[in-house]
Amino acid sequence: MAAVRERYPGVRAGVTGGPALDVDELLSITADMKAASLLSLVGVALLLVVVFRGVVKPALGLLALNVGVVWAFAFAAATVGHLSIMSAPLAPILIGLGMDYGIHLLSRYEEGRRLGVPGSGRARACARRRTAARSSQRRSASRRRSTRFV
């Protein structure tokens, strides 16, 4: 296109068709996904700082969350090879749901510290049970909703 513009300066030309639309769609999705991911990460971080009244424990939870999100995207890239418009909301969803276990773990750890329980082994076990119970509730609710449309 640059060569055409130089040769014919008064002519406005563009590219259209499937590949051009795919590139435009990808650029738009990428920009929106970055904004949504950043907004959800900042929202979760602020919520954790307010609820846990500190910065260190939420920062450690967010570090683990970011590692998990990177692993999820690495797995998606290795298995699927690319992201599409259907996978664009993956990062904000992972940020919101991925912090669930961290919130349970931090809450149980603080509760154990208040009660004088040494170590955090019980906190991890309790957080795993709570997260598993919550996940099974979500799955059963999802099954009930999906059977309405069959």
For 15, the 3-state DSSP assignment is coil
**Tell me: the pLDDT tens digits for 34-46?**
888 899 999 999 9
pLDDT at 78 over 70: yes
For 51, the 3-state DSSP assignment is helix
Higher pLDDT, 149 or 43: 43
**Tell me: the pLDDT tens digits for 136-147?**
776 665 555 544
Token reading at 6:
């130089």
Say if pTM beats, i.e. exceeds, 0.85: no
**Tell me: the pLDDT tens digits for 80-138?**
777 666 777 888 888 888 888 888 888 887 887 777 776 656 666 777 777 778 777 76
pLDDT of residue 135: 73
